[in-house]
């Protein structure tokens, strides 16, 4: 069964600190893995997309890694800011040319405190 | 930001009434999706469309219908709303490809 699991469920860190969010996926055949940021009351916004052949991708202070062998991904946030407080969602995409190919994790809720 | 507008943004209604949510895009994208988001669940696909008048069911389609008569508009209808359909509904465009999906800001629907 295709699925995506994220940990931790929630996390509180001090402003300026780094943190790492985890995502384990079992999606086959695998196409790519996405990280989204969802602010409270808003829709998810794409941070990164990583295909099978990519193992690191950065977007500013966000760096995603992908290990296709262990089927794990992580999202590292450097020098956190208050605006990083949000839910971070990991999404695995199955290699199909249809619309029902995305598998969403339940998200990690990050709170950055001053 | 991708041009996606959902309406209404908030709605409260009673059990048994029909409800229609609208998603409007200005990106001329072929694919559009309706998801619902509930605590403890990831986003779950209700229905999606891959072109005008071309739609298909997602994993939680029971109790919902959709229509797409124009590229830019995708409507989600609850024929007879139930309390279990209280949720936040998101429209998205994009995919299937290595490009990201773009999401609207959601409709918060409460059914009493």
**Residues of chain A with C-beta less than 8 angstroms from the C-beta of B96:** 93, 96-99, 101
* Direct distance between the N- and C-terminal alpha carbons of chain B, in angstroms, rounded to an integer: 34
Measure the CA–CA gap between A92 and A104, rounded to whole angstroms. 7
Angle ∠(A79,A83,A89) on CA atoms, nearest 5? 90
Check if B42 contacts A (Cβ < 8 Å).
yes
Q: Which of A5, A102, A103 should we substitute to test contact with B (largest number of B Cβ atoms within 10 Å)?
A: A102
Q: Give the dihedral sign, CA B96/A100/A91/B90.
A: positive
Rounded to an integer, the average pLDDT of B69-78 is: 97
Pairwise CA distance, residues A44 & B91, whole Å: 11
Chain A residues at the B interface, defined by Cβ less than 8 Å, are 4, 31-32, 34, 36, 41-46, 49, 51, 89, 93, 96-107
Q: What is the pLDDT along chain A (114 residues), one digit of tens a residue?
A: 889 999 999 999 999 999 999 999 999 888 899 999 999 999 999 999 998 889 999 999 999 999 999 999 999 999 999 999 999 999 999 887 676 789 999 999 999 999
Q: Are B6 and B21 in contact (CB under 8 A)?
A: yes
List of residues 6+ apart from A102 with CB closer than 8 A? A91, A92, A93, A94, B45, B95, B101
Tokens representing residue A68 in the block: 């296709």
pLDDT for residue A111: 98
Mean pLDDT of B93-104: 82
Instruction: Tell me if A66 sits within 8 A of A55, measured CB to CB.
Output: yes
Contact between A93 and B96 using a beta-carbon 8 Å cutoff: yes
pLDDT at A2: 85
User: Cβ contacts (< 8 Å) between B58 and chain A: which residues?
Assistant: 99-100
Search chain B and give the residue with CA nearest A89.
B42
Nearest chain A CA: its distance from B82 CA (Å): 23
């Amino acid at each position: 069964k295709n699925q995506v699991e994220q940990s931790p469920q929630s996390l509180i860190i001090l402003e300026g600190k780094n943190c790492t969010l985890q995502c384990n996926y079992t999606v086959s055949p695998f196409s790519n893995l996405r990280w989204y940021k969802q602010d409270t009351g808003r829709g998810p916004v794409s941070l990164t997309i990583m295909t099978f052949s990519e193992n690191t991708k950065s977007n500013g202070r966000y760096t995603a890694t992908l290990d296709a062998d262990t089927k794990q991904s992580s999202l590292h946030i450097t020098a956190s800011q208050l605006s990083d407080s949000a839910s971070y969602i990991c999404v695995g995409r199955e290699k199909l040319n249809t619309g029902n190919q995305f598998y969403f994790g339940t998200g990690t809720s990050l709170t950055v405190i001053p | 930001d991708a041009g996606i507008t959902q309406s209404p943004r908030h709605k409260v209604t009673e059990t048994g009434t029909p409800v229609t949510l609208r998603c409007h895009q200005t990106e001329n994208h072929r694919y559009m999706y309706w998801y619902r988001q509930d605590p403890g669940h990831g986003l779950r696909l209700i229905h999606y469309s891959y072109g005008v008048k071309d739609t298909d069911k997602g994993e939680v389609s029971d109790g919902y219908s959709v229509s797409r008569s124009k590229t830019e508009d995708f409507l989600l209808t609850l024929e007879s709303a139930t309390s279990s359909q209280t949720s936040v509904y998101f429209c998205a465009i994009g995919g299937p490809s290595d490009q990201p999906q773009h999401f609207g800001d959601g409709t918060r629907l409460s059914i009493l």
